[in-house]
């Protein structure tokens, strides 16, 4: 690592140790302040996020969109701070799990399981819950440009039981994990450019990664959609839902099925979605 990378690694560790010492309510207040600051001062992708919310909810007023966006900034700040506080923070978080039996039954089938998730809600706490419950999870992670930050995030996630596979790693490795009945986590909600399959998301054709569907078609692994939301009292609700693929599934039908499930969750809590991605960047020809 370069000197800059080493400095970043040490700095993140120092910040994380301080965040872990804060009581839960203090972290909540801090994340609200950081979210408000980011909304007012950090304009990167802000207009993109506004346009995306408006595109998904065209009948809503600009005032409503701005309120959702403000809450989204706060949730993103909370997600990051609570991530830094892991694994200590799991002790102060109240979890409620819906559909855990669906996950456990999928594992019992022995064909491997893909947990399809999205940049929605408290995804870091969601992953921490899976790790601390000793589920054999492997997350497909984007490698960070700064080697120090990359090592810090990797160390932190592994501290609570989350194993790593970097994007663009060997596909054969992923197939091997599924054949060994492991759980592969795939966040399948970003624009997939020309390599994706176009499915409907909020009434608009959306280029979506098709790897999940290919895994299922080739080896018959279980597909479960799962996200985590936060209720007003701070409880994190984790939901597991079986993805219905039908008797003759295709790449498009599978991808559309779980994309619709995501859309329903976003409608429930619009502020929980990470609207800053260029979701509709690729146009259907």
Instruction: For residues 252 and 213, give the distance between their C-alpha atoms in angstroms, rounded to a whole number.
Output: 8
> Given this model, what pLDDT does residue 284 score?
83
Neighbours of 121 (CB within 10 A): 26
How many angstroms separate the Cα of 210 from the Cα of each of 168, 207, 229, 243, 258? 14, 9, 25, 15, 11
> Given this model, what pLDDT does residue 93 score?
84
Instruction: For residues 244 and 253, give the distance between their C-alpha atoms in angstroms, rounded to a whole number.
Output: 10
> Given this model, what pLDDT does residue 140 score?
87
> Given this model, what pLDDT does residue 21 score?
93
> Given this model, what pLDDT does residue 142 score?
83
- Reading the block at residue 181, the tokens are 């009945």
> Given this model, what pLDDT does residue 145 score?
87
Q: Which residues of the chain have pLDDT under 50?
A: none
Of 169, 82, 190, 166, the closest CA to residue 127 belongs to: 82
> Given this model, what pLDDT does residue 285 score?
76
> Given this model, what pLDDT does residue 136 score?
95
């Amino acid at each position: 690592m370069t000197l800059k990378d080493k400095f970043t690694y040490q700095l993140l560790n120092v910040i994380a140790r301080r965040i872990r010492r804060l009581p839960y309510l203090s972290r909540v207040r801090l994340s609200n302040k950081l979210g408000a600051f980011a909304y007012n001062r950090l304009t990167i992708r802000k207009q993109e996020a506004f346009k995306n919310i408006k595109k998904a909810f065209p009948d809503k007023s600009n005032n409503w969109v701005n309120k959702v966006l403000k809450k989204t900034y706060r949730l993103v700040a909370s997600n990051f701070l609570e991530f830094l506080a892991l694994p200590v923070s799991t002790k102060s978080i109240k979890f409620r799990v819906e559909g855990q039996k669906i996950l456990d039954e999928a594992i019992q089938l022995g064909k491997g399981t893909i947990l399809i998730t999205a940049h929605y809600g408290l995804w870091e706490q969601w992953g921490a819950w899976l790790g601390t419950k000793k589920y054999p999870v492997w997350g497909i992670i984007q490698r960070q440009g700064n080697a120090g930050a990359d090592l810090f995030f990797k160390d932190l996630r592994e501290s609570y039981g989350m194993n790593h596979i970097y994007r663009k790693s060997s596909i054969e490795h992923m197939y091997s994990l599924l054949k060994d009945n492991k759980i592969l986590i795939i966040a399948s909600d970003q624009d997939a450019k020309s390599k994706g399959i176009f499915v409907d998301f909020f009434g608009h054709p959306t280029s979506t990664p098709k790897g999940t569907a290919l895994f299922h078609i080739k080896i018959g692994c279980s597909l479960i959609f799962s996200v985590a939301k936060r209720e007003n009292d701070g409880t994190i609700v984790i939901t597991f839902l079986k993805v219905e693929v039908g008797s003759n599934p295709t790449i498009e039908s599978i991808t559309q099925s779980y994309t619709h499930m995501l859309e329903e969750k976003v409608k429930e809590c619009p502020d929980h979605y990470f609207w800053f991605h260029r979701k509709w960047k690729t146009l259907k020809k």
